[in-house]
């Protein structure tokens, strides 16, 4: 039975092959043509081939893969470190993956875009949409969603560009909601809200006005008041940027007990204001940035300042790093802290580097028994970090 089927299929194939050859006026063995040959054999010399007809259409049709590539940009970076710390005679060391961040920028139209950012070591951090009112101009853009707030010079900056492995100064970490202010909680310097920002005078002046929930990220607002932030920047010459920021609003103590730092009670609402003035200078032989910071939490005042920088060492990619940082968490109680950092870094690829730093602190805010305890005493640490980033 099987042999009969094979014979029948072979006969059909042979018949079709001969019919095709007869229709073309040639032998079956010569039935291989290029597109040009097919045109000359099967069409009127004055007529166009299907390929000639479709080519102009295909050339005008959008290449969706190129369109997607032009509209969507992928970014990511990872920072992993080895940490050694000596505090009050106790030695501790650990490997630590500090950040693994991935984000997407999508351009919907030339003036409308959307961004999404996730840190695989913590939570979803940003999701917002921007709309520019002027095409190819930066005069006015509106932003809505969850994003980095504009308070302090350092907070809007990426950790991949700052000099210290600890990233932000102690005052910025406390006043910007990056973790050490336990009454506010940890928001990674980001909040939900609405922003209006832009530039003027060919980029010499920049502004950013924000209305924010004033609570930690990915949560519904815990009070009916909104915080307002204003940031003004002036760039008089290339490499110099002068920045002033202010924030006014109200907070609510997220702790279920009185804060040992401020004395504000559990769940109590309080006035929360922040102010800063600083800037940055960047040239071929040095990079510097610093600022003066001040905060008001209910009756408690806090203030401080820092200066951080790096100097090229003459060898390609090698830089020395230094920072001095002072912050007083409660001026009336004398909860002050001095911090110094010295180290080296080597940029082995664009935005990729190895860092090694020594860190000294005269006091710390740690977990303790109450969750936010001020502890005075010498702290010595060494950190080595690898940073890898792609754009």
- Domains of the chain with CATH codes: 74-390 (2.40.160.10)
Which sign does the torsion angle of CA 184, 289, 141, 110 carry? negative
Using alpha carbons only, give the angle 247, 249, 253 rounded to the nearest 5 degrees: 120
Per-residue pLDDT of the chain (391 residues; tens, 9 = 90+): 444 444 444 444 444 444 334 444 434 343 333 333 333 333 444 445 545 655 665 555 567 777 777 899 999 999 999 999 998 778 999 999 999 999 999 999 999 999 999 999 999 999 999 999 998 889 999 999 999 999 999 999 999 999 999 999 999 999 998 888 888 888 899 999 999 999 999 999 999 999 999 888 888 887 888 999 999 999 999 999 999 999 999 998 988 888 889 989 998 999 999 999 999 999 999 999 999 999 999 999 999 999 999 999 999 999 999 999 999 999 999 999 999 999 999 999 999 999 999 999 999 887 654 557 888 889 999 999 999 999 8
Strands 112-119 and 124-132 turn out to be antiparallel
Please give the model's pTM, rounded to 2 decimal places.
0.80
Q: Where are the alpha helices (DSSP H) in 208-336?
A: none
Tokens at 137, concatenated: 């101009």
């Amino acid at each position: 039975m099987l042999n009969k089927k094979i014979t029948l299929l072979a006969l059909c194939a042979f018949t079709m092959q001969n019919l095709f050859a007869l229709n073309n006026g040639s032998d079956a063995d010569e039935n291989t043509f290029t597109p040009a040959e097919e045109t000359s054999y099967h069409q009127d010399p004055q007529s166009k081939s299907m390929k000639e007809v479709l080519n102009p259409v295909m050339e005008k049709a959008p290449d969706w893969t190129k369109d997607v590539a032009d509209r969507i940009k992928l970014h990511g970076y990872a920072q992993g470190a080895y940490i050694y710390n000596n505090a009050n005679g106790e030695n501790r060391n650990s490997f630590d993956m500090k950040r693994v961040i991935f984000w997407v920028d999508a351009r919907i139209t030339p003036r409308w875009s959307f961004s999404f950012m996730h840190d695989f070591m913590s939570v979803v951090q940003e999701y917002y949409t921007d709309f520019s009112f002027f095409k190819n101009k930066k005069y006015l853009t509106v932003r809505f969603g969850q994003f980095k707030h504009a308070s302090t010079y350092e907070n809007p900056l990426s950790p991949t560009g700052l000099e210290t492995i600890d990233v932000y100064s102690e005052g910025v970490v406390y006043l910007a909601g990056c973790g050490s202010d336990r009454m506010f909680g940890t928001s990674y310097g980001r909040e939900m809200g609405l922003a209006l920002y832009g530039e003027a005078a060919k980029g010499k002046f920049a502004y950013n006005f924000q209305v924010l929930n004033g609570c930690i990220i990915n949560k519904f607002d815990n009070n009916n008041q909104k915080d307002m932030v204003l940031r003004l920047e002036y760039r008089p010459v290339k490499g110099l940027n002068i920045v002033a920021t202010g924030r006014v609003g109200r907070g609510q103590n997220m702790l279920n007990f009185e804060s040992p730092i401020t004395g504000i009670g559990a769940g109590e609402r309080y006035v929360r204001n922040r102010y800063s003035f600083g800037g940055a200078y960047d040239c071929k032989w040095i990079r510097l940035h610093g600022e003066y910071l001040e905060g008001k939490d209910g009756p408690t005042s806090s203030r401080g300042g820092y200066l951080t920088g790096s100097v090229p060492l003459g060898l390609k990619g090698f830089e020395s790093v230094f920072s001095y940082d002072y912050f007083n968490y409660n001026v009336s109680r004398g909860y002050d802290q001095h911090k110094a950092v010295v180290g080296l870094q080597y940029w082995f690829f664009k935005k990729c580097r190895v860092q090694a730093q020594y860190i000294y602190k005269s006091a710390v805010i740690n977990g303790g028994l109450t969750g936010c305890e001020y502890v005075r005493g010498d702290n010595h640490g060494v950190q080595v970090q690898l940073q890898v980033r792609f754009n």
